[in-house]
Every structure is written in structure tokens, then in C-alpha cells.
Amino acid sequence: MSRLQIAAGNWKMNKNLEEGVALATALVEANPSSDQLVILATPFIHLQAVGAVIKDVPHFKLAAQNCHQAEKGAYTGEISVEMLKSIGVEYVIIGHSERREYFKEDNALLAQKIDAVLAGGLIPIFCCGESLTIREAGTHVDFVANQLKESIFHLSDADFSKLVIAYEPIWAIGTGVTASPAQAQDMQAALRQLIAKQYSQEIADGTSILYGGSVKPANCNDLFSQADVDGGLVGGASLKAEDFTTIIKAL
């Protein structure tokens, strides 16, 4: 399959600047060449410095963890797509479950953010995923399908072809409980089918769908060997250079 395999590290709200630069430096030194893509989603204040560390390593890219949906204006404390672009950011995580839960970002707002990111020429990494209650009720595929329908299925073929999707079941995030390779595969195959129906088989086959939720060195090989798992969006294990390097090498 020709679609891109990606290891994306979501640092969340961790590490001061010095620690972040040290982590990026260690990752670059340990992964000098790769056919795959490594994306570092650092806190806003680290972006420029980490960008300088990875600037000569073409398979390392910079991501923000969020952005505002407006182009500019009186939105105290917020960061626009244009600002991110101006410092070399290429990807933006949109719709992480922590943003949905703690900052009340709903599907309609996320659709606006997706539009803003694409309009600015950056690439969204769109996160979706269900809670444990929904998983136990057995309605997880419908729930995640609806997240896609309400936030990204309005896009044109050309725009949709640019995005990366990350399936992150909430019950697996930061809990140490990982979805089994079969659970990840089942959901991600279902999402790919949905994309094929909405767009085309070609677009579905070209869309990278990452798995996120307690990805670690011990389980990354089994997860990444699934046909519809095109890499990982990694939280905790991306904060340790050695662990994240093992995950990158498992792609």
C-alpha cells in the first residue's frame, strides 16, 4: 500500500523548552534517515526551536496541537493558522479528545477548524474516537462515523485527500489499556470503507489512518502490522527518545 506511514508524537502539555529541544535533538540523532514520516506535535512555545532542530531532516515535520478557527482578530490567548505557517508548522492536530472534553470542542466547531487549517495550506490530523460507555454499548462505529460526517465529510475530494486521520479510542488514551490490534483494525477498516463510500476507493486507499491510545514499544509492531493501521499518534511514549525511536522504527 502506497499511503504514508506516520509516527506522530503528541507531547501534550509536557516538557519545558530546554527539555523539548533535547528530546527533538535525540530523536533526530537516532533517526537520521527514513522513508516514513515523523511528526512532532509540540506545545506552541517549542515549535520554533524544535523546527530549527529538525530543519535539515526532511522526514521530520512540525505540528501544532490546536489552532483557532478565525483568520485573525480579538481572540486573546489564541493562535491562528497563519501564525503557525509563518514559523514552519505543516500539520495541526484537530479534534483531540482532550480538546473535545476539556475545551468543549464539538463536531461543528471542528469542521470550522479543519476548514481554517486547509485554507491556510496546512494539513489537519483529525482525531476521532469513542468513550468506554459507547464502546460497551456497541455503537462505536456509528459514533465515530458521525464524527467524520459532521467534521470532515463536507470537504472536497482535493481537500480530503490531504488530511490524516487518527483513531484514538478515549478509553485507551493515557490509561495503559491499548485497543487490541483487531479492535484498531476493525474500526479503521470500517472508517476506510466509509471514506470509500463518501469519496472513492482511491481516496480511501490513499488516506493515512493512525491509531492512538497507549501505543508503546511493546505493542507498536502488532498494531502497525494491521492492514488499515498506517502508524500511530503517540502521547506518553513519545516523550522518551528511546521509546519513540523504537516506535518510529516499527513503521
Residue 168 a catalytic site member: yes
Q: Which x/- pattern, by CB under 6 A, does the window 198-227 give for ligand 13P?
A: --------------xxxx------------
Does position 228 interact with ligand 13P (CB under 6 A)? The reply is no
Q: Which is nearer to ligand 13P, 212 or 231 (CB)?
A: 212
Closest CA relative to residue 228, chosen from 3, 76, 69: 3
Q: Which of 98, 105, 130, 168 is catalytic?
A: 168
Does position 234 interact with ligand 13P (CB under 6 A)? The reply is yes
Please tell me the distance from the alpha carbon of residue 19 to that of residue 239, in angstroms, as a whole number: 10
Q: Which is nearer to ligand 13P, 166 or 199 (CB)?
A: 166
Q: Which x/- pattern, by CB under 6 A, does the window 141-170 give for ligand 13P?
A: ---------------------------x--
Residue labelled with grid coordinates 455503537: 139
| Bridge partner list, 40 | 9, 62
Does position 51 interact with ligand 13P (CB under 6 A)? The reply is no
Does position 63 interact with ligand 13P (CB under 6 A)? The reply is no
Query: From the list 5, 6, 7, 10, which residue makes contact with ligand 13P (rule: CB under 6 A)?
Result: 10
Q: Which of 59, 96, 98, 140 is catalytic?
A: 96
Nearest distance in Å: CB 158, ligand 13P = 27
Closest CA relative to residue 174, chosen from 14, 64, 2, 3: 14
Does position 231 interact with ligand 13P (CB under 6 A)? The reply is no
Strand runs labelled E in 134-199? 164-167
Does position 174 interact with ligand 13P (CB under 6 A)? The reply is yes
Q: For ligand 13P, which stretch binds (CB under 6 A), given 22-30, 187-195, 233-241, 242-250? A: 233-241
Please tell me the distance from the alpha carbon of residue 162 to that of residue 123, in angstroms, as a whole number: 6
**Which residues are catalytically annotated?**
96, 168
Residues that bind ligand 13P (CB under 6 A): 10, 96, 168, 173-174, 212-215, 233-237
